[in-house]
Structure 1
């Protein structure tokens, strides 16, 4: 931004790197260019500063399509002042006494470019339908406005160069836009619902597969359990049969052993009986020729072997006399009987 320092009867101007200054004194150009610094008399000087950097001009306007639909066009125009002297001579970029330039020049440029953009865009949109404007309007308007503004004689003669035009949006009214968005939204919602249904179907299919796998596993486990029970029953039955066979064999062996033992015992008893009988017979045969006293003595001896032990024996005179008397009588009696 240029600065002006005022002194009595004279002032000093210091320009900026983006401002092209034109110093006119009594109608003649005394100084011009970028970044100028000079002294001047305010009473006889006119200063104009034209920006030489790129300028951005956003614009927004409405147009009517062929099917009587209102659309809004949002665009941005980039331009530059390539001939600052011509611009300063045709537009108001004069510096005030305080220093900064007036805004009249920029407002004039904004009005000129905005009206040109609106005029060409309205003419073009009036030949298209709403669907065509929304589908191809951005690219067509960008090319159209770039060519029209670049070739406009007023801008060229003024020293304004159009660097580029960007059409940002072509939009219908809000109600129409919502109505146009409804089918797409419905389609997107339908796609979303379809995706949800497919996801649910996949989940159900997976659950069914899992259930079938679990059921198959349970059936397999039940079958294996059945085989296990059958095998255990067969094993138990076989074990019982083996135990029964073993018991039978043991019982037979025990019976045979007992039979053998009984036979042996019977044979032993028989042999012992026969031996006892033979001994008794032999004894009786031996006793047959003995006298009564001898037999009595043997009987007493046999009985004495069966009696309990006698610690002390008291022989009285009566007992002794009786036994002696019997002994004395026995021989006599034996003799008498012999006779």
Structure 2
């Protein structure tokens, strides 16, 4: 919609570049083109605004297939008004000179025309197509048929409307039918999922069995190695005991031999020492037997003197001295008497 402002009984119109404006004054075309800006008087002006940009028309309609199943079609048609003069002549695009709003509803007329024409061609295609084929290939078939039908529609070209593109978004049956159609696929998918689950469980069980077998084999091998270890320890202990016993026997034999040799040496030494002592004693006796008594007495006194303790000083009292002298006198008398008698 263009902007219209008032100035002292005049009106100023400023349109957008996507709007084609036609200005008639007293039945004569004064301004014609998109994006115009001009002054006009409301009492003598007739204005028309025709949009020339691309417009999207969403449509939804129901159809019936050859097997009497209802389907809904969702499509979008992109169109534009390629001949604004023809469109303004066929449809009411006039605007109010004061507000710039359309007096009628030309775009709704175009939407109704496009929707009914597209629906007619879609119904023609789906009425000869079963539901299963329509759900598989119906979108492409309906799109091609609608595009071709709208392009060949003479009323559109006579109105100055050009169809740019046709898109069919969806083609769906009724909810109950759709659920029924989905059931086999869902069941097959569920069966595939169950089979995958069973296979996964089987693989897991097989792996667990392999793991259990490996653990059992490991335990058996460990027990076998422990048995060999015990046998080896027993063999080593027995060999160690045997070696220890043999070593003890060798040590005992060596100790016995050493003691025998030591005893023999001690006996030999004792015998030799005894023989030497006996020889020395015999020689000593023989020497003493050949010596005179006075010599023997002197040797005895000397030996006695050698064995007496050391005396540093002697205190003699008169009593002791008297007794000692008496003994020495008696001893000398006896000795002399004996000597003389001899």
- TM bin, normalised by shorter chain, reads 0.7 to 0.9
Asked if residue 329 in structure 1 is aligned to residue 338 in structure 2, the reply is yes
Instruction: State the distance in 1 between where 2:63 and 2:288 align.
Output: 172
Q: Is the 8 A contact 2:94 2:104 kept in 1?
A: no
Residue range with higher mean Cα deviation, 208-217 or 24-33: 208-217
What corresponds to 1:118 in structure 2? 119
Counterpart-to-counterpart distance in 2, 1:245 and 1:306:
59
Q: Summarize deviations over 1:33-71 as a string: whole Å, max 9, x none.
A: 223445555445432221111121111111122222221
**Structure-2 change in CA distance of 1:26 and 1:277 (3 Å):** closer
Contact 2:288 2:296 in 1 (8 A): no
- Count of residue pairs the alignment pairs up: 332
Q: 8 Å contact 1:23–1:45 — kept in the other structure? A: yes
Q: Take 1:61 and 1:161, find their aligned partners in 2: how far apart are those partners?
A: 22
User: CA RMSD for the aligned pairs?
Assistant: 3.9
Q: Is the 8 A contact 2:12 2:39 kept in 1?
A: yes
Contact 2:19 2:34 in 1 (8 A): yes
Gaps of 5+ in 1: 335-339
Could you report, residue by residue, the CA deviation over 1:282-334 in whole angstroms, capped at 9, with x for unpaired residues?
A: 5555566777x5697389559837965484697341454145325413552x5
* In 1, Cα distance between equivalents of 2:225 and 2:207: 26
Counterparts of 2:63 and 2:239, CA distance in 1:
103
Moved more, 88-97 or 180-189: 180-189
> What's the TM-score once normalised by structure 2's chain length?
0.77
1:280 & 1:83 partners in 2: Cα distance?
A: 172
The superposition leaves residues 182-231 of structure 1 with CA deviations (integer Å, 9 ceiling, x where unpaired) of: 44344444545555555556566666666666666666666666666666
CA distance in 1, matches of 2:278, 2:10: 186
Residue 11 of structure 2 corresponds to residue 2 of structure 1: no
93-102 or 34-43, larger mean C-alpha shift? 34-43
Q: Is the 8 A contact 1:2 1:14 kept in 2?
A: yes
1:317 is the counterpart of 2:318: no
Where in structure 2 are there 5+ consecutive unaligned residues?
none
Task: State the distance in 1 between where 2:125 and 2:216 align.
Answer: 72
Q: TM-score, normalized by length of structure 1?
A: 0.78
Q: Is the 8 A contact 1:3 1:100 kept in 2?
A: no
